[in-house]
Amino acid sequence: METISHSWRRFVKFITFINLPIKKKFLLFGLGTFFWFFLVGTVAVSVLTFIHYRYSQLSNTTIPYMQTIQKVSPKLDALEQLSKWEHTKNQNKQLLEATLFVRSMLDTVTQTTINMQSSNKSGNFFEMLTYSLSKDDPEGIGALQDILNQIKKMESTISYALKKTNDKVDTDLSSSWDELNTTIVKTKQVIESFSARTTKMHDEYSIQMNKAIKFSINSIAIIILIAVSLLLFFTRWLTDAFSKPIESMIHQIHSIGTGEVDLSKKLKIKSEDEIGTLSKEFNKLVDTVYGVTVFKKVIEEDTSLDVVYTRLGEVFERDAKIDEYRIYDINDAKQTMKVVHPPLFGDETLACHDEILNNCSLCRAQKTGHKISSLEYAGICRQFIPEQEKEHICIPLIVAGKPGAVVQFTFNTKRTDEEIEDIQERVFKAESYIKNSLSVIETKQLMHTLRESSLVDGLTGLYNRRFLQDHSNQLIAGVLRRKKQISLLMCDMDFFKQVNDAHGHDAGDSLLKDTSAIFRKSVRESDIVIRFGGEEFLILLIDTEPQYGMMVAEKIRKTVENTNFKIPSGVIKKTISIGISEFPKDTEGFWQAIKFADVALYKAKDTGRNRCVEFTSELWDQKDNF
C-alpha cells in the first residue's frame, strides 16, 4: 500500500509539474492554455470547414440539380400533353409551341451542365480547401448529359416535323409525334432516376451536416468544460502553491518580530521548486532564530562569563558544525588576552603567535574591531602562523564600543568553491549566536568588572577583605579536599603613621603601592595577597609545606628592609613585621587562623619590629597581655 501511495504521489507531482522551476511551471501553464484554445479552434474550424464542404456540395450539385428538375419537369409534362393532342389541325402551331418548350428545357439543362463543368473555385484559404476536398459528380453530369441528349433528340424530331409541314411533302406527322412521345417518356424516366438520386444526396448531405453540427457543439462544449476545469484546477493549485507559503512566512516573520517563534507552524515543503527551496531556507532561518532566542534566554540566567563562553563553544560545534575554534577574552586594562574556551591541553598550541596574549593590540581583529578572514585575503593577519596550512576567520565581540573578546575559527586550506560557500554559511550561523549574545556578554562583563572592583583595593590593586569573605569557603574546601594547608602571613609596615605625618598621605600611598608590588613578586601565582586594612596586609600561601610560610615571610621582610622607597620628597627606608599561622595545623577555624596570625604579628611588633614570628599556643595564652 505504501508503494502504491508513493507511486501515486509521484504521478500526481509529475502531471502537476510540482517540482519544476517556477519559470517552467508558468511556461507549461501558458502552453497548456494555448493548447486548449488551439484545440477548440481546430475543432471549430474543422467542423465548420466540413459543414461548408457539405453545404458547397448541396449548393453546387443537389440544389442546381433540383432546380433544373423543377424547371424541366413541368415543361416536359406540358410537352407530353401537347404530343397527345389530336394533330389534324394547326399542327404547325403545335410544333412551334413544342419547339418553345424544348428550347427552354434545352437552355436550362445546357446552362446547368456548363455551370457544373466550369464552377468558379476561387475565394479564401478555407474556401479553396473546401473546393479541393470537393469532387466532381460525373454521374450527375452524365445524367444531365443524357437528359440533354434526349431533349436534343426531341428538338431534332420537332425540327423534322416542321420541315415536312413547311415543304408540304406529307402532312401525316403521327410517326413524328409518336417518336416525340417516346423520347419524352424516356426523358421522364431519366429525370425521375436523376431526381431520386438528387433527393437521396440532399438527404445524406443534410444528415451529415446535422451530425457535424451536433458533433461540433458537443466536442467544443466538452473541450471547453475540460479546459475550464483544468484551468481552474491549475490556477487554484498555483495560487495555493504561492500564497499559502507566503502567508505562513508573513505570519512567522510577524511572530519573530514580536519575539515569539512557533516551531509547530513551520512551512510545509510540498515541492522542490524555488518555493520549496525558499521554504527550506526559511525553516532553517526559523530554527536558527528559535535556537538563538532560546540560547540568549539560557545565557542570561548563567552566573558567570566563563559559562557563557562555554555555551558559545557548544553551539559552534552543535549548530554551526565548527569544531576548530578558540575564544579569547580581552583584558582592556592590562592590554592582554587569554584563551577561555576551549582551554589548551598538553602540547596544544595556538594558531597565532603567543605574543598576542601579552599584547592584544597585535591581534588584527582586536585592533580594527572588524571581522578578519584569510578566505577573502590571504595572509591578512601577520600573527596567524601560516605553516599550519589553515585558513582563519576572526570575529571581534564588540562590547561597549570596543572588542571585549575575539572568536577565531580555523579551517583546512584545501577547499573547493562549494566548501567555501559551506564555510561562509556555517560562520554566518555562528555569527548570529555571537551577535545575540553580545548584550549578555556586555552585562556579564560589566557585572564581573563591578564585582572585581568591589573585591579589589583601588589603591594597590590587591584583593580586599570582602574578597576573602566571599571566597574563603572555596579556599577552605579545596585545601581540606587536597589535605594540604594554608600559610597565613599577616604583614604590617613599621611606623607607617610617621610617614603620613612627616611626608604626607601621597608618600604613604606611594609606599603602600611599592610594598604591594614586593608582595606580588615574592609569592606564587596561586597565592593570594589581600590588603586587610590600612597598612596591614594578609598573604595566603596555598598548599604549603611546614616552614614554607616562614621562608616566604623572611624573604619579604629582607626585601622590604633592603628597598629604597621613592616618595615625592626623596627616598626612605622602611621595615615590616610579619605574623605567621598555619591552617588547619594551628586551628580548624579559618578565621581563627587569621586571628592567630594577627596575634603573632603583634608579638613581632612587641619584640622589636622588623621580624617574623610564627604563632604558637603560648602566644594565644598570653593574648590578654597584648
Q: What confidence tens digit (pLDDT) does each residue in 289-301 have?
A: 667 777 778 877 7
In the block, cell 456540395 appears at 57
Instruction: Report how far residue 67's alpha carbon sits from residue 116's, in angstroms, rounded to the nearest whole number.
Output: 13
Task: Give the pLDDT of residue 22.
Answer: 67
Stretch 63-85: mean pLDDT: 80
Q: What are phi and psi of 324, to 5 degrees?
A: -100, 105
Task: Give the pLDDT of residue 622.
Answer: 59
- pLDDT band, residue 605 (cuts 50/70/90): very high
Stretch 564-584: mean pLDDT: 91
In the block, cell 598570653 appears at 622
Listed by start position, the domains of the chain span 22-230, 302-455, 463-625
Task: Give the pLDDT of residue 626.
Answer: 44
- pTM here is 0.49
Task: Give the pLDDT of residue 625.
Answer: 46
Amino acid at site 453: S
Stretch 586-593: mean pLDDT: 92
Instruction: Report how far residue 445's alpha carbon sits from residue 139's, in angstroms, rounded to the nearest whole number.
Output: 113
Instruction: Report how far residue 481's alpha carbon sits from residue 472's, in angstroms, rounded to the nearest whole number.
Output: 14
* CB 93, CB 161: distance < 8 Å: no
pLDDT in tens, 90-116: 677 777 888 888 888 888 888 887 877
Instruction: Report how far residue 466's alpha carbon sits from residue 452's, in angstroms, rounded to the nearest whole number.
Output: 10
Weakest-pLDDT range from 43-57, 188-202, 384-398:
43-57
Angle at 330 between CA 453 and CA 289, to 5 degrees: 105
DSSP single-letter state for residue 586: T
Q: Would you tell me how many other CB atoms lie within 10 Å of the CB of residue 349?
A: 9
For residue 2, is pLDDT > 60?
no
Nearest-Å Rg of the Cα atoms of the chain is: 60
For residue 560, is pLDDT > 90?
yes
Instruction: Report how far residue 416's alpha carbon sits from residue 69's, in angstroms, rounded to the nearest whole number.
Output: 93
Mean pLDDT taken over the chain: 80
C-alpha distances (whole Å) from 90 to each of 163, 164, 370, 485 are 15, 14, 135, 173
Task: Give the pLDDT of residue 452.
Answer: 64
* CB 356, CB 326: distance < 8 Å: no
Stretch 388-405: mean pLDDT: 86
* CB 164, CB 176: distance < 8 Å: yes
Stretch 129-137: mean pLDDT: 55
- Which is it for strands 402-412 and 564-567: parallel, antiparallel or unpaired? unpaired
Instruction: Report how far residue 337's alpha carbon sits from residue 139's, in angstroms, rounded to the nearest whole number.
Output: 114
Task: Give the pLDDT of residue 146.
Answer: 86
Q: Where are the alpha helices (DSSP H) in 301-342?
A: 305-318
Instruction: Report how far residue 556's alpha carbon sits from residue 564's, in angstroms, rounded to the nearest whole number.
Output: 14
For residue 11, is pLDDT > 80?
no
For 173-238, strand residue ranges (E) read none
pLDDT in tens, 232-263: 877 777 676 677 777 777 776 776 666 565 65
- pLDDT band, residue 458 (cuts 50/70/90): confident
CB-based contacts of 131, cutoff 8 Å, min separation 6: 56, 121, 123
CB-based contacts of 382, cutoff 8 Å, min separation 6: 364
Residues in a beta bridge with 582: 487
Instruction: Report how far residue 253's alpha carbon sits from residue 145's, in angstroms, rounded to the nearest whole number.
Output: 90
Weakest-pLDDT range from 41-50, 188-197, 200-209:
41-50
* CB 486, CB 542: distance < 8 Å: yes
For residue 500, is pLDDT > 80?
yes
* CB 302, CB 292: distance < 8 Å: no
Q: Which CATH superfamily is domain 463-625 in?
A: Reverse transcriptase/Diguanylate cyclase domain (3.30.70.270)
Instruction: Report how far residue 168's alpha carbon sits from residue 157's, in angstroms, rounded to the nearest whole number.
Output: 16
Considering the four listed CATH numbers 3.40.50.150, 1.20.1260.10, 3.30.450.40, 3.40.50.11690, the one that applies to the domain covering 302-455 is 3.30.450.40
Instruction: Report how far residue 249's alpha carbon sits from residue 391's, in angstroms, rounded to the nearest whole number.
Output: 37
Instruction: Report how far residue 40's alpha carbon sits from residue 45's, in angstroms, rounded to the nearest whole number.
Output: 9
- Which is it for strands 402-412 and 390-399: parallel, antiparallel or unpaired? antiparallel
In this structure, the chain runs to a length of 626
For residue 30, is pLDDT > 50?
yes
| Nearest partner of 247 among 265, 261, 231, judged by Cα | 265
In the block, cell 611626608 appears at 503
The enclosing H or E element of 398 equals: strand 390-399
* CB 437, CB 296: distance < 8 Å: yes
* CB 137, CB 61: distance < 8 Å: yes
CB-based contacts of 230, cutoff 8 Å, min separation 6: 32, 36
- pLDDT band, residue 212 (cuts 50/70/90): confident
Which numeric CATH code is attached to 22-230?
A: 1.20.1330
